[in-house]
């Protein structure tokens, strides 16, 4: 007697997986930062601190969130930004900037006490970085005082 085995089931396409669709829906925001100059950056994703440090020239970092990404930088002119794959054009020449990214797109929030406080903290961090470079006998980073 010869028994024939049934053909194996056809794999489901990725879009048929409810888990993959749920993961994709939960991470609908993506921000990529590429530094052209050294820049201090602080990032919050969905209200949680995600990153706070100096990004060196030629370094790239990215962040994902569901509802909101908030970024404060001490050298906005030294960063190239991409939000959900599209380049973000910075419309202001301000060096210290606060930007928010939501499903509605990127925006610079109204001057709030929180944004002003973050921007002051960034300015202080820039000066502390310069002081530590001087005390360590290192040359000052050209990007700090442009």
pLDDT in tens, 49-59: 999 999 999 99
Name the DSSP class of 142: T
Report the 10 Å Cβ neighbour count for 38: 20
Q: Where are the domains of the chain?
A: 20-135
Averaged pLDDT score across all residues of the chain: 78
Inter-residue contact 141 to 129 (CB < 8 Å): yes
In degrees and rounded to multiples of 5, residue 131 shows phi and psi of -60, -45
pLDDT above 70 covers a percentage of the chain that reads: 57
Res. 137: pLDDT tops 70: no
Residue-wise pLDDT tens digits, 71-91: 999 888 999 999 999 999 877
What's the mean pLDDT in 62-74?
A: 95
Residue carrying the six token digits 């794959």: 85
Inter-residue contact 7 to 35 (CB < 8 Å): no
């Amino acid at each position: 007697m010869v028994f024939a085995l049934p053909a194996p089931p056809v794999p489901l396409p990725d879009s048929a997986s409810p888990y993959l669709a749920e993961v994709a829906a939960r991470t609908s925001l993506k921000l990529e930062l590429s530094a052209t100059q050294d820049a201090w950056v602080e990032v919050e994703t969905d209200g949680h601190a995600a990153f706070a440090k100096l990004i060196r020239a030629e370094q790239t970092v990215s962040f994902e969130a569901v509802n909101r990404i908030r970024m404060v930088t001490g050298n906005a002119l030294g960063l190239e930004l991409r939000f959900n794959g599209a380049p973000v054009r910075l419309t202001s020449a301000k060096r210290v900037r606060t930007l928010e990214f939501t499903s509605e797109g990127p925006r610079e929030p109204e001057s709030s006490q929180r944004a002003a406080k973050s921007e002051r903290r960034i300015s202080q961090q820039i000066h502390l970085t310069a002081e530590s470079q001087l005390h360590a006998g290192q040359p000052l980073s050209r990007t700090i005082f442009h």
